[in-house]
Structure 1
Amino acid sequence: MSDGRGVTDNVLGQRYGGGAPASIAPANEVIALLQRHRSVRSFTDEGIDDDTVTLIVSAAQSAATSSNMQAWSVIEVRDPDHKAAISVLAGDQAFIRQAPVFLIFVADWARHRGVAEHRGEAAEGVEYIESTLVGFIDAALAAQNATIAAESLGLGAVYVGAVRNRPEELADLLELPPGAFPVMGMALGHPDPTDRAGVKPRLPQDVVRHRETYRPAPDEAIVAYDDAVRTYYAGQGMSHGWIGTILGRIRSATTLRGREKLRAALERRGLPSK
């Protein structure tokens, strides 16, 4: 895809709901790829060969990792029955069944405990929240690299946070050992060309970008962004905005759909997060 200014302006107009910063320079191909990212939840019947997944995982492994701990693993699922069982535990979302490959990124300290045990060493440090955070961050960085790699190959992807809805059941299904915990899923496939989803607007930079110190976001900027999101969804026959979505998500613990119990689940799965 050309990285000319015309294409960049068009994508940035979508990304910022028509309010892109005028000072953004023409993008190189890497930045252009990042800017046109979109979640893909509708796939064709075309499969993905093993070499392609191997290439994507190599990109994931090239992500930054805290102190070279590499405290993550990824489970690749292709079997239709296995994907269907995962879908039931992850919000019963049809695109998980439809995607030819479903990846589950795992915060994995089981491997490190095994290394320590084999050498007669303790692994007390795994029990602290710092280690839990490192595992989740490492997994997230790896997953982001995997997404960009997949998109560079013409594939589509969508993250699935719902793998944390019933994480202990999913861990049993995947035969995860103690110290390994599902962080996020990722459906991979060839995008359906009839899919109407586009580049979704993001908050304006003056809301997320702070200079020197933090400052509250002006409400008028939030309202303007909410309008941009409503316009985006209206093009897909939907009517919701951003404000209502976030209020619905944070209003009470029940909106977390089981994830309000994650701390207890982490402890039972060998990550007490002290």
Structure 2
Amino acid sequence: MTINRIELLRSRYGQSLDFDSEWHECLTTLLSHRSIRAYRPDPLPSGTLELIIASAQSAATSSNLQTWSVVAIEDVQRKAQLAALAGNQKHIQQCPLFLVWLADLARLAHIAESRGMSSAGLDYLEMFVTATIDAALAAQNATIAAESLGLGTVYIGAMRNHPEKVAAILKLPPRVFAVFGLCVGYPDSPPTAIKPRLPQSAILHRERYDLTVQDAAIAQYNEIMQNFYREQQMNVAGDWAEHSVKRIATPQSLSGRDRLREALKNLGFELR
């Protein structure tokens, strides 16, 4: 089914609009993204994983340090263990391929040690941030590649709910942290609707940041999302702003991630 640019943009923003610019097929893939939470068990064609990883490695990386790694998981029992740590999300067990994306400073530490050189810079927060960004950029490239091949994906931030237990299951060495997971596979349901995002007026600032435009943009988005929930027959109480604030209201709202600094220390990150 071919969806034109106007339909895609309307779905992405919940209102009719278009931009006067050239259009390429990669934009269709990007704007068509939606999270998939039901998968067929069909294995992926040979070479698919390697092609996805090649795409991930084509992402930008700070100073070419490549401070990320990924663990590809197909074993049923290991997926079940990780699913249990992530709130029993069934799609982790359903998908034929589960990728865990890692902020990885162990490789550089190993290289420095093997050459008898210092790696004291790895103990600073900057390097953890660099590794996390590297992992995120790589994973997003992989996601786009997978979706361009007709596969579905969904990110699993709940890998951060129990960092030490995830590290134990994956045998991660010190200075390696599971940033998030990614389910990959063939969708086992009709395509879900594209969820609208905030108006560009809320996130696009020209020349300097301006917080004064937020209230109008958020009010508009609350209405768009309530219309979306009605159209999709989703029984959701409250608006987007209320849902979002509830997610940050207390440390307990963070689903165990309020102890992330402690967990990172336990995993060998000094974060000076």
Please confirm whether the aligned pair reaches a TM-score higher than 0.5, indicating the same fold: yes
> Please, what is the CA RMSD of the aligned residues?
1.4
| Distance (whole Å) between structure 1 residues aligned to residue 78 and residue 71 of structure 2 | 12
1:127 is the counterpart of 2:123: yes
The secondary structure found in structure 1 opposite 2:81 is helix
Counterpart in the other structure of 1:211:
206
Unmatched 5+ stretches in structure 1: none
Measured after TM superposition, the shift of residue 151 of structure 1 is: 0.4
The secondary structure found in structure 2 opposite 1:247 is helix
Measured after TM superposition, the shift of residue 67 of structure 1 is: 0.2
Kept in 2, the 8 Å contact 1:156–1:190? The answer is yes
Counterpart in the other structure of 2:94:
98
Q: Deviations over 1:135-183 (max 9, x none)?
A: 1000000000000000000000000100000011100110000010000
1:10 is the counterpart of 2:34: no
Q: Deviations over 1:163-215 (max 9, x none)?
A: 000011100110000010000100001012335x2111001111100011101
The secondary structure found in structure 1 opposite 2:183 is strand
5 Å matches for 1:75-114? Answer: 75-114=71-110
Larger displacement relative to structure 2 (132-141 or 27-36): 27-36
The secondary structure found in structure 1 opposite 2:47 is helix
Kept in 2, the 8 Å contact 1:19–1:204? The answer is no
| Distance (whole Å) between structure 2 residues aligned to residue 225 and residue 205 of structure 1 | 10
Q: Deviations over 1:9-68 (max 9, x none)?
A: 001101001153x43435210112111111111112222134101100000011000000
Amino acid aligned to 1:126: L
5 Å matches for 1:221-240? Answer: 221-234=217-230, 235-240=232-237
| Distance (whole Å) between structure 1 residues aligned to residue 268 and residue 23 of structure 2 | 44
Amino acid aligned to 2:269: L
| Distance (whole Å) between structure 1 residues aligned to residue 22 and residue 7 of structure 2 | 11
5 Å matches for 1:144-183? Answer: 144-183=140-179
Amino acid aligned to 2:26: V
Counterpart in the other structure of 1:187:
183
In structure 2, the CA distance between the partners of 1:260 and 1:24, relative to structure 1 (3 Å rule), is farther
| Distance (whole Å) between structure 1 residues aligned to residue 186 and residue 13 of structure 2 | 26
Amino acid aligned to 1:248: K
1:44 is the counterpart of 2:40: yes
| Distance (whole Å) between structure 2 residues aligned to residue 92 and residue 227 of structure 1 | 32
Q: Deviations over 1:112-148 (max 9, x none)?
A: 1110111111111111000000010000000000000
Equivalences, count:
269
| Distance (whole Å) between structure 1 residues aligned to residue 229 and residue 69 of structure 2 | 35
| Distance (whole Å) between structure 2 residues aligned to residue 115 and residue 99 of structure 1 | 35
| Distance (whole Å) between structure 2 residues aligned to residue 64 and residue 117 of structure 1 | 26
Amino acid aligned to 2:196: P
The secondary structure found in structure 1 opposite 2:247 is helix
Counterpart in the other structure of 1:258:
256
Runs in 1 of length 4+ with deviation above 4 angstroms? none
| Distance (whole Å) between structure 1 residues aligned to residue 247 and residue 188 of structure 2 | 29
Measured after TM superposition, the shift of residue 221 of structure 1 is: 1.8
Amino acid aligned to 1:177: P
Amino acid aligned to 1:258: G
Unmatched 5+ stretches in structure 2: none
Kept in 1, the 8 Å contact 2:6–2:16? The answer is no
Identical-residue share of aligned pairs (%): 43
Per the normalisation by structure 2, the TM-score is 0.95
| Distance (whole Å) between structure 2 residues aligned to residue 118 and residue 67 of structure 1 | 21
Per the normalisation by structure 1, the TM-score is 0.94
| Distance (whole Å) between structure 2 residues aligned to residue 109 and residue 50 of structure 1 | 30
